Structure 1
Amino acid sequence: MSPQNAPAPAARVPAPTRREQILKEAARLFAERGFHGVGVDEIGAAVGISGPGLYRHFAGKDAMLAELLVGISGRLLAGGKRRVAEASGPPGAVLESLIDGHIDFALDDRPLITLHDRELDRLRDSDRKLVRQLQRQYVELWVEVVRELYPRVAEAEVRAAVHAVFGLLNSTPHLSRPGALPGRAGTAALLRRLAHGALNALSEG
């Protein structure tokens, strides 16, 4: 093969920072055993540093939990806005992009879904309010796109349908039984069909 025809090198993915490694392991351990069931020493051991060494990165477990839950809410909103801005074509194509983005989250960040369901009330009021604020903005992003697709459907019904789809997609922590579904690609395809089916039902009202 000549140099001109050689394939371009794959883009190098930056290695996770120590802070990102800590957060990933903290999320996994909190989801598996509960916030109070995990000690700082165990989180440190999971990333190869002493428990006290974690305090160079975080003030404590509460700070880790806040960064995890506020962080994922912010990333979902930012990712949704980017997809709406970048998607081309009719509202259906924009909605498809939003669904695909949320499926990626639901499959790749299952511990964070479990954390949100179990531990949100442990956040201090200001952090919990911020999570809720970011989530409301994310919901409204979807509602606006779905209403463009189904302009005759009442806003309250669209909002209820969007919340229902989130519940469907965020069920992934309960789908982890070995052999239950045909791998990530098969699970993503199933979730995609179910989400589109649920929202397409709005046209039948």
Structure 2
Amino acid sequence: MTTTGAEQDTALHADAGRPSRREQILQAAARLFAERGARAVGVDDVGAAVGVTGPAIYRHFASKDAMLAEILVRISERLLAGGSERVAAAGADPADQLRALIAFQVDFALDNPALIVVHDRDLGSLPEADAAQVRRLQRRYVEVWVAVLARLHPTAEAAACRARAHAVFGLINSTPHSAGRVDRAAMAGLLADMAWSAATS
């Protein structure tokens, strides 16, 4: 699979400035994990990607598992915080809230293709305590969507709203498979249209 450079995986940046060494390590790890799978990447590989020796990594992370855990927790925290903020900013209309959520998820997927791949493939590689934390955050993010969809479909059961949300995630998060093959603006529009149809049908 072709993935884009780690510099595009903006969800690992703490702010808009130059990434810290810790963030550079996380970005490199995310790119390598996406390309090879977390199990096939060693600490020395990550060190080489950022121009330091493997042992220097241990000043920032206790292990490769700690890097993977921080990557996946950060993804989940950013999604939950960002989705909640978009809903709050969109006003009271659930259709506007849904459009804001879709736009947010589309931008996240297009800007963070390596993270999407790592999240989908390597969650099962985490120690159970870390995996449980990620799943709790994921469930809270899904419930942000479910609450909006329930207002948009007042007669629908929660399970149906949850199924719609997961259908939208499946559509949008498929973007790493076509990264670089379609113009970003065109891809964003296509994904938003398909996601809207899946969420409102």
Report the TM-score, using the length of structure 1 for normalisation.
0.87
Which has more radius of gyration?
1
Query: Could you report, residue by residue, the CA deviation over 1:33-81 in whole angstroms, capped at 9, with x for unpaired residues?
Result: 1112222122112112111111111111110000001110111001111
Percent identity of paired positions between Structure 1 and Structure 2? 56
5+ long unaligned stretches in structure 2: 1-14
**1:187 matched residue in structure 2:** 187
**1:64 matched residue in structure 2:** 67
Please, which of 85, 88, 91 is the counterpart of residue 88 of structure 2? 85
Please, which of 152, 156, 162 is the counterpart of residue 165 of structure 2? 162
**2:48 matched residue in structure 1:** 45
CA distance in 2 between counterparts of 1:121 and 1:155 reads 27
CA distance in 2 between counterparts of 1:151 and 1:89 reads 15
**1:76 matched residue in structure 2:** 79
Give the aligned residue type for 1:189.
G
Query: Could you report, residue by residue, the CA deviation over 1:124-168 in whole angstroms, capped at 9, with x for unpaired residues?
Result: 111111111111111111010111112122222111111111111
Equivalent residue runs for 1:63-142 within 5 Å:
63-142=66-145
Report the TM-score, using the length of structure 2 for normalisation.
0.88
- 2:58 partner SS: helix
RMSD of aligned residue pairs (Cα, Å): 1.4
Query: Could you report, residue by residue, the CA deviation over 1:152-202 in whole angstroms, capped at 9, with x for unpaired residues?
Result: 2222211111111111111112113x53x2x1111111000000111121x
CA distance in 2 between counterparts of 1:113 and 1:193 reads 20
**1:200 matched residue in structure 2:** 200
- Tell me how far 1:116 sits from its aligned partner: 1.9
Query: Could you report, residue by residue, the CA deviation over 1:7-42 in whole angstroms, capped at 9, with x for unpaired residues?
Result: xxxxx9311111111101100001101112222122
User: Which consecutive aligned stretches of 4+ in structure 1 deviate over 3 angstroms post-superposition?
Assistant: none
Q: 1 or 2 for the larger relative contact order (CA 8 Å, sep ≥6)?
A: 2
